[in-house]
Amino acid sequence: MGTGKWTAVLAPMLLAAASLPAAGTTPDRISEAAAAVEDKVIAWRRDIHEHPELSNRERRTADLIAGHLRSLGLTVATGVAHTGVVGVLEGGRPGPVVALRADMDALPVTERTGLPYASQVRSTYNGQDVGVMHACGHDNHVAILMGAAEVLAGMREQIPGTVKFIFQPAEEGPPPGEDGGAPMMVAEGVLKNPDVDAIFGLHISQGDRVGQMSYRPGGAMASAQRFEIHVQGRQTHGAQPWAGVDPIVVGAHIVTALQTIVSRQVELTRGPAVVTVGTFHAGVRNNIVPDEAKMAGTIRTFDPDMRDAIHRKIEQIATSVAESMGAEATVHIDGIPPGLPVTHNDEQLTERMLPTLRSVYGAENVRLGDPITGAEDFSFFQEEVPGLFFFIGGRPADVPLEQAIPNHSPLFYVDEGALVIGVEAMSRLAVDYLQQSGG
């Protein structure tokens, strides 16, 4: 796969030495340094892509990251929130502290891209044998941040403050029965010692073409909670359904009724909302009405009051429908309150850093994005310090938007030309923030 027009534009720079030139403005130096490490970044990304690891199991990835950060002379902590890695770069001048974050984990998805470095890894997830793939693009995020660490380490003496590089495990959620991810990193003090003043993160997708990016101040990604509904019926012979209570039929009515929450019961002008039932399990044999049925799903909202109202309506619908049909239903919603919070970009920080992003991508390639009903545990960092989470394009320039492949698909891939621009963007955000903050 080609790396797009950005590689072609920057190709002459690849012949430059990896060290930063003595002359030139800081933006120019960062741009040249990013171009000089592009080949490394692509190689890291392909290596990580070929060797993906599930949440809380990112040991090989962590070793690769830690070794690179140590080679740059950073102070490195490992084993943070199980497998996380944190590197601290102290600049040559005093100033504030800025954090840059990348997520490390892959998904239980069997890859079907046909790439020469496609994953062949298999593992166990929830007791099932599964393929493992970086279907959400976290391999790109890790490689970009490793590249930014090298760029910024090369200009250490000119940095007015401190940069903290946070490589986070389990963004997709820790395995059942385990803790992990951003909330565990926060609890273990990742934003302390030194105390972080602001944090930046990015996510790649095919929603924009390579060389483009989008952002949204305020609520950018949804709050998310997982819900489970357990319907208790009464088992009987399939030929005599009247002798029992069929939990499958009860569950089907519950699923149908839940669809009226978003379509008829919440004020959608206040913000988007989603209620999705993703699993439905019941029975073991064709001629037996089972005792129970179990469903699980997800709730996505941008408004706390709407979130709470939806929680109440799920409980009311499930229990009332079950009761009306002679069954019983119990509802469990994870993390009340608040579950996975809204990914909220600090409005002042976003406005302040927009000139940097427009400088890197070109003003014509920076757009205001729509709210995204996907969720991100970057939100836990943003609850502690001002943060900006933005989205970079990975769709090849010759692929139309209607043919974009979504994240989490077994066919997901990116144009690697996006990586060098991501390195430049993260490096520029760190330096510009520190300079503007009095460093």
Q: Active-site residue numbers?
A: 105, 171
Distance CA 17, CA 36 (A): 7
Whole-number Å distance between alpha carbons of 297 and 279 = 7
Residues 6+ away with beta carbon under 8 Å from 97? 161, 162, 163, 164, 194, 195, 196, 197
Residue 420: closest CA among 153, 87, 33:
33
Distances (CA, A) of 14 to 49, 201, 360, 388, 423: 23, 26, 18, 30, 14
Q: How are beta strands 366-368 and 328-333 bridged, if at all? A: unpaired
Q: What is the SS3 string spanning the chain? A: CCCHHHHHHHHHHHHCCCCCCCCCCHHHHHHHHHHHCHHHHHHHHHHHHHCCCCCCCCHHHHHHHHHHHHHCCCEEEEEECCCEEEEEEECCEEEEEEEEEEECCCECCCCCCCCCCCCCCEEEECCEEEECECCCCHHHHHHHHHHHHHHHHCCHHHCEEEEEEEEECCCCCCCCCCCCHHHHHHHCCCCCCCCCCEEEEEEEEEEEECCCEEECCEEEECEEEEEEEEEECECEECCCHHHCECHHHHHHHHHHHHHHHHHHHCCHHHCCEEEEEEEEEECCCCCEECCEEEEEEEEEECCHHHHHHHHHHHHHHHHHHHHHCCCEEEEEECCCCCCECCEEECHHHHHHHHHHHHHHHCHHHEEECCCECCCCCCHHHHCCCCEEEEEEEEECCCCCHHHCCCCCCCCCCCCCHHHHHHHHHHHHHHHHHHHHCCC
**CA angle (12, 14, 15) in 5-degree steps:** 80
